[in-house]
Amino acid sequence: MREAGWNPGLHDANTFYCADPDGFLVGELDGQPIATVSGVRYNDAFGFIGCYIVAPPFRGKGYGLAIHEAARRHLHGCTQGGDGVLENIEKYRRIGRVFAHRNARYEAVKAGDDWEPALAVCDAVGVDFDDIAALDRECFPSARARFLSAGIRQPGAFALAVKDATGLRAYSVIRPCFRGWKIGPLFARDMAAAESVFRALIRRIPAGDPFVLDIPEPNTAAGDLVARYRMREVFATARMYTGPFPQMRLDRIFGITTFELG
């Protein structure tokens, strides 16, 4: 993934593996790895395809389709989600995927020290895990306790939350990557909580470091957030599904977890 320019988190491999140990496939030719894909089966109703890479010398020869179909077989019976590059929408439609919405990656560089949040922010690891899991479930099609627990404890990452007398209002994670930092997920029940946890995360990284946030475009409040901090769009994907669209609170998704796992 790093060589393909995807800039993964430094510890994403171990965290991703927690989602589905059987969901990560490698295609070999004469003992040489030439392709990868993930088909993470969260439960019997929902799975997600990602990490789809074929080494350049072996593209256009059918190897990619073969490993992609192996991942789809692992997800048999599930609604299958995926984030594909925009130029391949028609290709994905031919295998049954239906366009849901556009996701966009925004990037900025931390400048200055004035990142004090308006609301009180706490360490997410110290929050009742059931509360975090409940908010996460509103924003994701399946429970994913093992992955979520590993994500908020990822080495080098910061996991923060906003909680008050009304309950848990937001939680988010920022993790170190080979270049800069990635925020995700950023789930919040209101804009004030989303912005406070966002500011608190950026406050914790070094000045001059780049950071990215991936937003679902139907959430216009998330668009307002990236505009307010003058983040620029650098990449976009098409969220597509094979099967019934899952029910999620897109208005509470200010940052998706990861393009690779949904």
Judged against a pLDDT cut of 90, whether residue 7 lies above it is answered with: no
Q: What is the rounded CA–CA span in Å between residue 46 and residue 160?
A: 27
Enclosing domain of residue 45: 12-101
| Chain centre distance of CA 147 | 12
Judged against a pLDDT cut of 80, whether residue 4 lies above it is answered with: no
**The pLDDT value given to residue 1:** 56
53 φ/ψ angles, rounded to the nearest 5 degrees? -140, 135
Q: What is the rounded CA–CA span in Å between residue 184 and residue 215?
A: 9
261 falls within a domain:
no
Using one digit for the tens of pLDDT, what is the confidence trace for 37-88? Answer: 999 999 999 999 999 999 999 999 999 899 999 999 999 999 999 999 899 8
**The pLDDT value given to residue 91:** 87
Identify whether residues 49 and 153 lie together within a single domain: no
Using one digit for the tens of pLDDT, what is the confidence trace for 91-121? Answer: 889 989 999 999 999 999 999 889 999 999 9
In sign, the C-alpha dihedral spanning 17, 20, 22, 23 is: negative
3 falls within a domain:
no
Identify whether residues 229 and 115 lie together within a single domain: yes
Judged against a pLDDT cut of 80, whether residue 235 lies above it is answered with: yes
**What is the chain's percent helix, strand, coil content, to nearest 5?**
30, 35, 35
Query: What element of type H or E holds 135?
Result: helix 129-139
Judged against a pLDDT cut of 90, whether residue 244 lies above it is answered with: yes
Q: What is the rounded CA–CA span in Å between residue 241 and residue 246?
A: 9
Using one digit for the tens of pLDDT, what is the confidence trace for 141-194? Answer: 999 999 999 999 999 999 999 999 999 999 999 999 999 999 999 999 999 999
Identify whether residues 203 and 182 lie together within a single domain: yes
Q: What is the rounded CA–CA span in Å between residue 221 and residue 92?
A: 29
Identify whether residues 122 and 244 lie together within a single domain: yes
**The pLDDT value given to residue 131:** 98
Higher pLDDT, 74 or 7: 74
Q: How many domains does the chain have?
A: 2
260 falls within a domain:
no
95 φ/ψ angles, rounded to the nearest 5 degrees? -105, 15
Boundary-marking domain end, from 101, 120, 145: 101
| Average pLDDT rounded to a whole number, residues 211-215 | 98
Judged against a pLDDT cut of 80, whether residue 135 lies above it is answered with: yes
Identify whether residues 85 and 114 lie together within a single domain: no
Identify whether residues 117 and 187 lie together within a single domain: yes
Identify whether residues 114 and 46 lie together within a single domain: no
**The pLDDT value given to residue 95:** 87
Identify whether residues 87 and 136 lie together within a single domain: no
Identify whether residues 139 and 208 lie together within a single domain: yes
